[in-house]
Amino acid sequence: MSFTAQQIQSFKKIETPFYYYDLRVLRATLEIVQQYSKQYEYVVHYALKANANLRILHLIEKYGLGADCVSGNEVLRAVEAGFSPSHIAFAGVGKTDKEILTGLRHHIFSFNCESVQELEVINELAAQINTKARIALRLNPNVEADTHHYITTGLHENKFGISLQDLPAILDKMAQLKNLELTGIHFHIGSQITNLDNFKKLCLKINEIVKFFDEKQIKLTHINVGGGLGIDYLQPNVNPIADFANYFGVFHQYLQRRPHQAIHFELGRAIVAQCGSLISKVLFVKEGQQKKFAIIDAGMTELIRPALYQAHHEIEALTPEATTATVYDIVGPICESSDCFGTDRKLPTLQRGDLVAIRSAGAYGEVMASQYNLREKVRVLYNE
């Protein structure tokens, strides 16, 4: 059991469901990230989309990470949390004029751009307010990520990035856009990537692309390799911290870096996933025709990953006193059959009122919560 009797007692005082963030796990993770980024002089941006909780952001900012945002509101949240705008990258395939203006007014580090039209609009808006925008072109490297197809982003069939064949024409166009300054190139091939060979392939592709820029005598001051490092959803207690050593090691080994170039990363999941659990209470235990259901008070409204991506999250019963085990489908209260956190899970026998913890829920959990069925906003508890 990964929770102490004292923690379980404290859980009983709070109305469920709630997210429980263990900030000690987050700090331990950030220390490792800091160690490697210093060792290799890498710049790590935290991808706010994974978890934009202010308390968590404050802590991440203290460890010197930059921010990676995908909306105007994320840019504003990052600024509110204390991130310097000069460390904020703003990505996203569909930025509105209002969002672009937010980024321009804060003089952010870079707009990661994905189309000619986007470049034209940013140029026009920058001219209107008499400023220049720093641009990183998001390129589609056509590199496989071996992950769920919904979170694969770097293939020709995906909507993301500029295809390499369009690059020469885009560079010609950019030369005419006087309120833009090309500073870097950006990639992101997908998320929850555990086979590091995919990152090696990305590095080799980037090396070819950088050669092309060298030939054109275009100086890129930064290469942003995106995020995507996966975590161990099956064994969160055995591997509470992602394999940053080998991940950064792959880039160190395979990415050829020019002396003037900074290497940037945008990590979300690997930083925050393991510090969060969704704590929920068993409402009813129901004997079906073929199955036993444990119906809990958290639903896909609080954690949509299992319903949306068939994602696996470990489920732990917080019942130290239970002596027998039973196989359950753990389901939520929402009126959808996809509202299921796990099928055929063997757990200590559950009673009404028992607590369960859905693990590895710190990333893409709270941020993706919805009010469907007029659910209440999910509560949060922190362990300092």
Contacts of 52 (CB under 8 A, 6+ apart): 74, 77, 367
Q: Could you tell me which residues come within 8 angstroms of residue 11 by beta carbon, excluding any fewer than 6 positions away? A: 3, 20, 279, 318, 355, 381
List, in sequence order, every residue forming a beta bridge with 90; answer none if it has no partner.
Answer: 69, 111
Nearest distance from residue 188's CB to ligand LLP, in Å? 4
Per CB under 6 A, which region of 172-180, 197-205, 266-274, 284-292 contacts ligand LLP? 266-274
Count of residues near ligand LLP by CB under 6 A: 22
Buried b (16+ CB within 10 A) or exposed e, 258-285: eeebebbbbbbbbbbbbbbbbbbbbeeb
Question: Of the candidates 26, 189, 267, 331, which one interacts with ligand LLP according to CB under 6 A?
Answer: 267
Provide the minimum distance between the beta carbon of 224 and ligand LLP in the complex, in angstroms, as a whole number. Answer: 8
What is the smallest separation between the CB atom of 151 and ligand LLP, expressed in angstroms?
Answer: 5
Alpha carbon distance 20, 300 (integer Å)? 17
- Comparing CB distances to ligand LLP, the nearer of 227 and 348 is 227
Tell whether residue 244 is a contact of ligand LLP (CB under 6 A): no
Q: Does 60 bind ligand LLP (CB under 6 A)?
A: no
In which residue are the tokens 């709270």 written? 366
Q: Tell whether residue 222 is a contact of ligand LLP (CB under 6 A).
A: no
The stretch among 34-42, 43-51, 279-287, 338-346 that binds ligand LLP (CB under 6 A) is 43-51
DSSP letter string over 152-211?
B-SSTTSS-SEEGGGHHHHHHHHHH-TTEEEEEEE---BSSB--THHHHHHHHHHHHHHH
Nearest CB to ligand LLP, comparing residues 268 and 348: 268
Residue 68 interacting with ligand LLP (CB under 6 A): yes
Least distance between ligand LLP and beta carbon 129 (Å):
26
End-to-end C-alpha distance for the chain, whole angstroms: 19
User: Is residue 22 a contact partner of residue 383, using CB atoms and an 8 Å limit?
Assistant: yes
- The whole-angstrom separation of Cα 67 and Cα 89 is 6
Asked if residues 51 and 365 have their Cβ atoms less than 8 Å apart, the reply is yes
Per-residue contact string for residues 132-161; x = within reach of ligand LLP by CB under 6 A? -------------------x-x--------
Tokens of 280: 């929920």
| Binding window for ligand LLP (CB under 6 A); candidates: 9-17, 265-273, 319-327, 376-384 | 265-273
191 is a contact residue toward ligand LLP (CB under 6 A): yes
Binding to ligand LLP by residue 269, rule CB under 6 A?
yes
CB of 249 to ligand LLP, least distance (A): 17
Residue 90 in 3-state DSSP?
strand
Q: Are 19 and 365 in contact (CB under 8 A)?
A: yes
**Three-state DSSP state, 257:** coil
Nearer to ligand LLP, 66 or 226 (CB): 226
Is residue 348 involved in binding ligand LLP (CB under 6 A)? no
CB of 306 to ligand LLP, least distance (A): 10
Pick from 17, 66, 72, 226: which binds ligand LLP (CB under 6 A)? 226
Amino acid, single-letter form, for residue 304 = I
Among 77, 87, 305, 359, interactor with ligand LLP by CB under 6 A: 305
Instruction: Please give the residue ranges that form the binding site for ligand LLP (CB under 6 A).
Output: 47, 49-50, 68, 91, 151, 153, 188, 191-192, 226-229, 266-270, 305, 309, 364
